[in-house]
Structure 1
C-alpha cells in the first residue's frame, strides 16, 4: 500500500520531498533534454482533462484522457482514461459541457489514486495538449497538493502551433488575412479536414488533439520541420514591423 506521508527521496541536485519517485526521475530525465534529435525519436503523451470549471483554485478535475504518439504515429491501443470523483459537488453547468453526471463520478476513484497511474502512463514522454496550460495548471496543483511536486515535463500546445500555422499561411497576404479564425479544437479539426471525435470527452479530445498535432508537425514551415528545436522555433510568435 502506498504510504500517505511524504518520504524523502534524493537524487543528485534534486532534493525534494515526494512519495512519487517517478516525478523525480522525470525531472532528471528532462533536465538535459536534447532538442536536436529527429521528431520521430521522441515519444509524446497527448493529454486532455474535463473539469468542473475553469478556475484552478476553485474547480477540479472530473476525468483525464491520454493517448501515446510514437514515431510520429498515434498508438490507438496505448491510452489512459479515467473518471475522477471530485471533492466538490458536480456543478450542473459543467455536466452540460462534458455530460459527466454526479452518478457517474460518485464511485469513481479520487485523484490520490488516479495521479500515480497517470504519471506512470506519462513516463518520459513529452506532453501535448490543446491550450495545454489549462490542463497542466489543474494537474500540477493537484500533484503539489497530494504528492509534493508538480510535473516538470516539456509541453507542446497545439493551439499555439495552430496560430503559428495560420500566420505562415497568410504571411505576405495582409489584405486577405482571416480575422475570424477559431482555435476551438473541433473547429480546427473541421477546417483542416481531420477525423472528428466527440467533443468534451477527455479521451476523445486527446485523440482529436493527437491528429491535430501530427497534422501541424507535417504542415508547419512547409513540412521542413526535422527536430524538436525546429518545432519550438516554428511555434514562437512572429513580430511584424
Structure 2
C-alpha cells in the first residue's frame, strides 16, 4: 500500500502506539466461553497537518471455536447465523492472523512499536481479541495487553453522549440503524467518531518530551 502525498507517520502522536479501531461481534459477553463471530479493524492515517482519517478496513467472519457458546439473544441482536451456508467464515486463528498482519504492516509504516485498540466500550473488544489470540496460539498479538482508547469516554466529554449511535449523530454524522451491529459498520463509525473528536481537539505534531514506552 502506497502512502498518500500528505501521509505523516504517527510514531510520535501517541507515544509510539498505533491506534487501531476494532469492533467484534460475538455469541455473548464472556470471551472465554462465547464465540468470536466477526472482527473488523480500521487502520487510520495522519495527514501532514496532523489530522487523522480513516485509511482502510480489514475484516473477517469467524468460525465459532469448538465448544463455543452462542447465546440466542446475542445472535438476535447482531443478526448472525453462524452456520449459514453462504457465510464465508475463517478459523479463528486465520482470521486474527490476517488482521494482525495488516496492523503490523501499518505499525512499520508509521514507526510505531505497538498498536493500541480503540473501541466503543473498548475493554469488551480487547478481551475477545486477547482471548482469541491466546486460544489460537498466536504469539504476535500487536495490541497492548490492557491499555486501550475508549470512544465512550471521548463522546461523553465532547457531546455528553455514551451510546455510539447518539454520539455519531451528535457529531453531525449519519447513522443507519439497519447497518448497526455489523462489525465493519460499527468499527468504521467508531473510527469516524474517534477521528472527529481528536481533530476537533487539534493536531499534535511535535514529539512529546517523554516518548519512552512503559507499561502504561
Q: Provide the secondary structure at the position in 2 that maps to 1:66.
A: strand
Distance apart, 1:89 and its partner CA = 5.7
Q: Say which structure is richer in helix.
A: 1
Distance apart, 1:114 and its partner CA = 1.2
User: What is the aligned-residue RMSD (CA, Å)?
Assistant: 2.9
After superposition, the Cα gap between the structure-2 partners of 1:66 and 1:148, relative to the gap in structure 1 and judged at 3 Å, is: closer
Q: Does 1:127 align with 2:102?
A: no
Structure 2 unaligned segments of length 5 or more: list them: 1-9, 47-51, 108-114, 210-216
Q: Provide the secondary structure at the position in 1 that maps to 2:33.
A: coil
- What's the counterpart of residue 139 of structure 1? 129
Q: Provide the secondary structure at the position in 1 that maps to 2:90.
A: coil
- In the alignment of these two chains, the number of paired residues is 177
After superposition, the Cα gap between the structure-2 partners of 1:109 and 1:193, relative to the gap in structure 1 and judged at 3 Å, is: same
- What's the counterpart of residue 170 of structure 2? 191
- What's the counterpart of residue 37 of structure 2? 62
Distance apart, 1:58 and its partner CA = 2.2
What TM-score comes out, normalization by structure 1 length?
A: 0.63
Distance apart, 1:187 and its partner CA = 1.2
Alignment of 1:152-171 (within 5 A): 152-153=143-144, 155-166=148-159
Name whichever of 118-127 and 128-137 sits farther off. Answer: 118-127
Q: Matches of 2:207 and 2:122 in 1, distance apart?
A: 17
Structure 1 unaligned segments of length 5 or more: list them: 1-34, 167-180, 231-241
Q: Matches of 1:53 and 1:229 in 2, distance apart?
A: 40
Per-residue deviation, residues 91-128 of structure 1 (Å, max 9, x unmatched): 32122111111333876222022121111022124432
Which has more radius of gyration? 1
Distance apart, 1:219 and its partner CA = 2.6
Q: Does 1:85 align with 2:63?
A: yes
Larger RCO: 1 or 2 (CA < 8 Å, sep 6+): 2
Per-residue deviation, residues 176-209 of structure 1 (Å, max 9, x unmatched): xxxxx54111111112212325211001111100
Q: Matches of 1:146 and 1:70 in 2, distance apart?
A: 29
Alignment of 1:194-233 (within 5 A): 194-197=173-176, 198-220=179-201, 223=202
- What's the counterpart of residue 115 of structure 1? 96
- What's the counterpart of residue 212 of structure 2? none
Q: Provide the secondary structure at the position in 2 that maps to 1:163.
A: helix
After superposition, the Cα gap between the structure-2 partners of 1:182 and 1:104, relative to the gap in structure 1 and judged at 3 Å, is: farther
What TM-score comes out, normalization by structure 2 length?
A: 0.70
